[in-house]
Chains A and B, each alone.
Chain A
Amino acid sequence: MSSGQAEQTVTVRQDDEQHESLTWVVACAVADLPDGEMTAINTEPPVAVYNVDGEFFSTADTCTHMKSSLTEGYLDGDQVECALHMATFCVRDGRATALPATVPLRTFEVKIEDNTLKVRLPASWVELA
């Protein structure tokens, strides 16, 4: 994933009052992410995209418990389970739904354009990749 795929850059105000520049990037072709599947985008840090019964969601790929890749785990409905210690998160809102995780995942806006799934990520995550 290169920053050359960025389409537009906007600045939003985050909860922590830091200004962060977000940018839309291509995650994958819609056809490459069937129902019940998830995949990671090679940003830094990596980002996960999910297909839950035809609805698409995106969260950080890194478990907030011990920094394992969630897409190495299991997607069950709208719950993603970390393979390492079975923490679960709701991919719709990033909420931690089972211990040992208590910290939510960051979530990202998604859209579909031209049969392509796009996610809106911090520009710095894309530039570093």
Chain B
Amino acid sequence: MSGASVAIVGASTAGAAAAYALRAEGHEGPVVLIGAEQTAPYERPPLSKDVLTSADDPQPLWLLTPDTYVSTNIELRLGAAVTSLETDGSRFRLALADGARLSADTVVLATGGRARRLDVLPADPRIHVLRTWADAQALRTQLRAADRALVLGSGLIGAECAASASSQGVEVEVIEAQHVPFPSLPSHEVRGALLRTFAQHGVTFRTGVTVTGCQAGSDGLIVSLSDGNVIETDLIVIGIGVEPMTGLADQLGAETQRGVLVDDRMRTSVPGLFAAGDVATRRIGDRLVRHEHFASAQAQGAAVARSVVGLDPVAPPAAWAWSDQFTHRLDVVGDPQGGTERRLRRGDDGSLVEFSLAGSRLVGVTALDAHRTVRDARRLIGGVLRAPAEGLEGNDVPLKQLVSTP
């Protein structure tokens, strides 16, 4: 297998990690990393934070340094989406948007997702999504001239954009279709603490409403809401999630389940075709899991590389998502929704940790400004309590003493 050629479709977090890990695991055959964007693989987390707020012209944070592609012989093809993918059962043929054709023994799909838009909104340069470097540059430029911004959705991207815009002096309003702000955060207390911070910065929320229309005028956008209200704004950021880009998997008839379905070795139902990152739905035990977070994409990139070179899988690390909003650091570890009981730890320093337990097993943690506990939790998710659950509420006991290593 070590001489086989690997085409990685998607110069993404998972794609770049896969290419890097293939070489680290000793793969000697050709590796090509194909990206639809013009930019070499970069980190997306800063796009909703530093890229929007930095005073200086932001530069991409490269996932791999430019000389890594040379020193490890990874071919980078940028600005060319893969438009078709076929197989004759032993080799894949890829057609690129720039007319190029490639073939490969193995294909890794790391195509990620496309930011969702809203049909009721017109096409207008003041209406943004945030997924790519180009998206972030466009939003940054307009935010610097804007007085008012409307953010649709208060998931991690929406909340980070709202905080970044607000910290730039923009008056921000957030529209959340669900009845609570930050609905993806599985802790009432953490949501409450965050909401207080947003309120202190003057960010207003409207929950339980949706956008029903928008008129694009020369001096602003006039947005109608489902509750009859009308808002005027200078720009809109849509932060309502992504659609996994499963088109190429569909062309080959690979099985999909809200993403390209993969097994514990990141294999799809088509031999030689693998998937990793936001586009991949993993079957873990009896659950189907698709993550849209940086750490998971990186871990999956490394996992797919192990699999391609024929190594046994290692247990995936506990799921982990982080977010920076104003001065807060937010972490979600494991699967907090999978618990049946919750325990809250309030730190004297204002930190909050909500532990989620299934019986006596720690299954998830939602934390605000609690680095050390999060760090321990990443190693202890799945472990069993050594002491009564009330112990988790005590401030000064390291988690390691309360939960066994899984």
Contact = CB atoms under 8 A, between A and B. Distances in A.
Interface of A: 66, 74, 81, 83, 85-86, 99-100, 102-103
B61 A102 contact: no
B315 to A, nearest CB: 15
Contact of A102 (B68, B320, B322, B371): B68
B378 interface: yes
Given A66-B61, A86-B295, A99 B302 contact: yes
Interface string B1-41: 00000000000000001001000000000000000000000
Contacts of B371: 83
A103 B17 contact: no
Given A83-B371, A86-B295, A99 B17 contact: yes
B65 A103 contact: yes
B95 interface: no
B225 interface: no
A81 B247 CA distance: 38
A102 B20 contact: yes
A100 B375 contact: no
Interface residues of B, number: 17
A102 B375 contact: no
A99 B65 contact: no
A86 B298 CA distance: 12
Closest 5 A/B residue pairs (Cβ) = A99-B298, A83-B371, A102-B64, A99-B17, A103-B65
A100 B63 contact: yes
Nearest to A73: B375
Interface in B289-325: 294-295, 298, 302, 320, 322
A72 to B, nearest CB: 8
Main secondary structure of the interface of A (DSSP, over half): loop
Interface centre among A83, A99, A102, A103 (most CB of B within 10 A): A99
B276 to A, nearest CB: 13
Interface of B: 17, 20, 43, 61, 63-65, 68, 294-295, 298, 302, 320, 322, 371, 375, 378
A86 B322 CA distance: 11
Contacts of A100: 43, 63, 294, 298
14 contacts: A66-B61, A74-B375, A81-B375, A83-B375, A85-B294, A86-B375, A99-B17, A99-B20, A99-B302, A100-B43, A100-B63, A100-B294, A102-B20, A103-B65
Contacts of B298: 99-100
A66 B54 CA distance: 14
Nearest to A72: B371
Contacts of B378: 86
A6 B318 CA distance: 47
Nearest to B46: A66
Contacts of A81: 375
Contacts of B322: 85
A77 to B, nearest CB: 14
A66 B42 CA distance: 13
Contacts of B64: 102
Given A74-B375, A83-B371, A83-B375, A102 B302 contact: no
B113 to A, nearest CB: 20
Contacts of A83: 371, 375
Nearest to A64: B65
B66 to A, nearest CB: 11
Contacts of A102: 20, 63-65, 68
Contacts of A85: 294-295, 322
Nearest to B64: A102
Given A81-B375, A86-B295, A86-B320, 16 more contacts: A66-B61, A74-B375, A83-B371, A83-B375, A85-B295, A85-B322, A86-B375, A86-B378, A99-B17, A99-B20, A99-B298, A99-B302, A100-B43, A100-B63, A102-B63, A102-B68
A74 B68 CA distance: 27
Contacts of B294: 85, 100
A62 B64 CA distance: 17
B72 to A, nearest CB: 10
Nearest to B43: A100
Nearest to B65: A103
B196 to A, nearest CB: 24
A81 to B, nearest CB: 8
B270 to A, nearest CB: 27
Nearest to B302: A99
Contacts of B295: 85-86
A102 B298 CA distance: 12
A128 B376 CA distance: 37
A58 B64 CA distance: 25
Contacts of A99: 17, 20, 298, 302
A9 B43 CA distance: 40
A86 B17 CA distance: 15
A3 B65 CA distance: 34
